[in-house]
Amino acid sequence: MRRRVVVTGLGGICGLGNDVTTIWHEMRAGRSAIGPISNTSLHDIKIKTGCEIKAFPEHDIERKQLVSMDRFSLLAVIAAREAVKHSGLSISDNNTYRIGTTVGVGVCGWEAIEENYRAILLEGKNRAGIFTVPKVMPSAAAGQVSMNLGLRGPVFGVTSACSSSNHAIASAVDQIRLGRADAMLAGGTDAPMVWGILKGWEALRVLSPDTCRPFSANRQGLVLGEGAGMAVLESFEHASARGATILGEIIGVGLSADASDIVAPTVEGPENAMRACLADAGLTPEDVDYLNAHGTGTKANDQIETAAIKRVFGQHAYALSVSSTKSMHAHCLGASGALEMIACVMAIREAIVPPTANFVEPDPECDLDVTPNTARERKLNVALSNAFAFGGTNAVLAFKGV
């Protein structure tokens, strides 16, 4: 019999707030944290809109660890510590080898990369910083989380661009289902608000100059943000034995690839991932109440995702509540799916669908109920979270209330 995987703790940090309570409060209120980029060192940036973390919360991470961390790893550690505290999970020599972590990341340690380019090319220094390699490696966030919390079970990084969070969570689910761990810290992190990354995204011509308006006819593109989200996942038996409060259950995972184009999505890839998720969860399309869409705010992506949803759900697509919380926390790349996991779990728990903010006018090609601007009360039993990425890597998660 397959082990059930439940969520017992959540942690998060992004432009909306420095903890899950604040992030969910702002999502529920439909408040967008997108605005002008305040970092004055980002010169020569044409698109000056983003979603930054304005101030870090208090933490007691030792300087010895801080000097070896890039920003994306620090965000992951902060979110992971909150998730563990929220879950009440006690980590000791007795259970440390049964607890691990998987952390998704899209662009890894670019803050450290740029610091070294500046030092060597502009300031004339003859060598890079001693911690450059451990700072920039994509698995750094997972390693830093494991060291900070003392996790000695399965620990690894996951990278699949904008699907990284969902792939990391799916991998953690597998570790628990297979019996390799009793508990996993899982989620994603990214800190792309650096000059080189922003210039690269500018070149793609998909960034919005004002804000993110998913599914709205006048949308102009996506907005980049930074953040991290983490969850404590446990087998149902492990959580029950220690008397944990169970926030929700991950009942299905669906993965697929477009195998088509490095940047242009297909309808079939997302469709197959959603179908696979429903099959893994033992659900019919009619069982799903809410779908947290990938919803980037680009014309092509929103229309293709809408078409894929219609193929999978048929007439039930029009009964679904759909929304894109990227309209509020922006596209945090490797962290987006983890922040959207928070939205799904909390939406089910509080019977509230978070809205798609900044919505102005409907697009006839995106004609589903996208919950424009205002949250809606609705009894929710099952929610799906979509994540689709460059390279055609698709990952969909199914959450259920308990």
For 42-88, how does the pLDDT look when each residue is reduced to its tens digit (9 = 90+)? 878 999 999 999 998 989 999 999 999 999 999 999 999 999 999 99
The total of other beta-carbon atoms located within 10 Å of residue 55's CB is 6
Catalytic option among 331, 332, 344, 366: 331
Q: Tell me if 309 sits within 8 A of 291, measured CB to CB.
A: yes
Q: How far apart are CA 244 and CA 8, in angstroms?
A: 7
In angstroms, the CA 178 to CA 181 distance is: 8
**Locus of tokens 């007439």:** 315
Active site residue 331: yes
Amino acid at 230: M
Q: What is the pLDDT of residue 43?
A: 77
pLDDT for 64? 94
What pLDDT, in 10s, does the model give residues 20-43?
Answer: 999 999 999 999 999 999 988 887
What is the C-alpha to C-alpha distance for residues 351 and 371, in angstroms, rounded to an integer?
A: 14
Which ranges of 261-334 would DSSP assign to H, the alpha helix?
268-281, 299-313, 326-329
Kindly list the structural domains of the chain, giving each domain's residue range(s) and its CATH number in brackets, ordered by start. Answer: 5-241 (3.40.47.10), 253-400 (3.40.47.10)
Of 14, 51, 162, 344, which residue is the catalytic one? 162
Is residue 238 among the annotated active site residues?
no
- Percentage of the chain beyond pLDDT 70 is 100
Closest CA to 104 of 170, 154, 27: 170
Token pair 């650096």 in the structure block, residue = 194
Q: Which of 86, 294, 329, 344 does the annotation list as catalytic?
A: 294
167 is catalytic: no
Sign of CA dihedral 163, 101, 341, 220: negative
> pLDDT for 214-269, tens place per residue?
999 999 999 999 999 999 999 999 999 999 999 999 999 999 999 999 999 999 99
Residue with tokens 């509230």: 352
Q: Within 13 Å, how many C-alpha atoms sit on residue 392's CB side?
A: 15
Closest-CA residue to 327 (of 33, 19, 61, 93): 33
The Cβ of residue 350 has, within 10 Å, a number of other Cβ atoms equal to 14
**What does the pLDDT look like over 125-167, one tens digit per residue?**
999 999 999 999 999 999 999 999 999 999 999 999 999 999 9
Q: Which of 302, 370, 366 is nearest to 331 (CA)?
A: 302
Other CB atoms within 10 Å distance of the CB of residue 275: 17
